[in-house]
């Protein structure tokens, strides 16, 4: 089937199989580098994208579902090369090591803060419960997020 959707503000059109996941289409067909395959079953958060502003596991989303919708990756966040506050905070706090989890982390935080600009620790940990990081031990990630919440 042929689907049409907006990807980071640009319209794209692509032929997909009914069974194909959004993750595969983004990575293999559209060459999106920031969306990562971690587990393929909704357990790690590395593949998160925003669909109409809401965080979704692209590995569990059929590509056909985004027909007519708006899909955003981290690439949509920076404006004219200027990083957003949360991205800058990640850099300042050394919150990325290998970076595999980073795009998913940033998108989930963005979605959370849009809904709830000053989440409690519990709300924050709840939101991050589906995002695994093997490298940082989460502490710098939490510090980065807290620095943005305080501002």
Partner 1 sequence: MAKLRGRGIAAICYPTGMNLGGDPSQTVIIAQPDGTFVVNVASVELGQGLRTVLAQIAAEAIGASIEDIEVRFGDTQLAPHDTGTFASRTTHRMGNAIIKAGQEVRQILLDVASKILEVSPQDLEIRNGKIWVRGVPDKFISVREVASQAQFVYNIPVVGKGHYVKPKSIVDPETGESDPHSTMAHGCVVADVEVDTETGEVTVLRLFTVYEVGRAVNPKLVEGQIIGGAVMGLGAALRETVYPRYPQIIHQTTSFREYVLPTAGDVPKIIYKIVESPTPTGPYGAKGVGEMVANGIAPAIVNAVYDAIGVQITELPITPEKVLKALSEKGKSK
Q: In the bound complex, what is the minimum distance in angstroms from residue 107's beta carbon to ligand FES?
A: 12
Taking the C-alpha atoms of residue 55 and residue 107, their distance in angstroms, rounded to an integer, is 7
Q: In the bound complex, what is the minimum distance in angstroms from residue 44's beta carbon to partner 1?
A: 6
Please work out the total of residues on this chain that contact ligand FES, with binding judged by CB under 6 A: 22
Residues in a beta bridge with 13: 4
Q: Can you give the C-alpha Rg of the chain in angstroms?
A: 15
Regarding 41 and contact with partner 1 (CB under 8 A), the answer is yes
Q: Which does 37 bind (CB under 5 to 8 A by kind): ligand FES, partner 1, none?
A: ligand FES
Q: Please give the backbone phi and psi of residue 20, each rounded to the nearest 5 degrees, phi first.
A: -80, 140
Q: Which strand (E) or helix (H) includes residue 107? A: helix 102-115
**Interaction site with partner 1 (CB under 8 A):** 38-39, 41, 43-44, 94, 96-99, 121-122, 124-126, 128-142
């Amino acid at each position: 089937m042929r689907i049409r959707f907006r990807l980071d503000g640009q319209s794209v059109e692509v032929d997909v199989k009914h069974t194909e996941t959004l993750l595969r289409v983004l990575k293999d067909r559209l060459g999106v580098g920031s969306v990562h395959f971690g587990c393929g079953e909704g357990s790690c958060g590395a593949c998160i994208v925003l669909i109409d502003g809401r965080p979704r596991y692209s590995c569990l989303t059929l590509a056909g579902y985004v027909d007519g919708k708006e899909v955003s990756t981290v690439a949509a966040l920076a404006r004219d090369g200027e990083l957003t506050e949360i991205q800058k905070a990640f850099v300042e706090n050394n919150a990325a090591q290998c970076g595999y989890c980073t795009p998913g982390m940033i998108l989930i935080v963005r979605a959370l803060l849009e809904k709830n600009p000053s989440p409690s620790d519990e709300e924050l940990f709840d939101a991050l419960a589906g995002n695994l990081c093997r490298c940082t031990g989460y502490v710098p990630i939490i510090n980065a997020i807290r620095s943005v919440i305080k501002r």
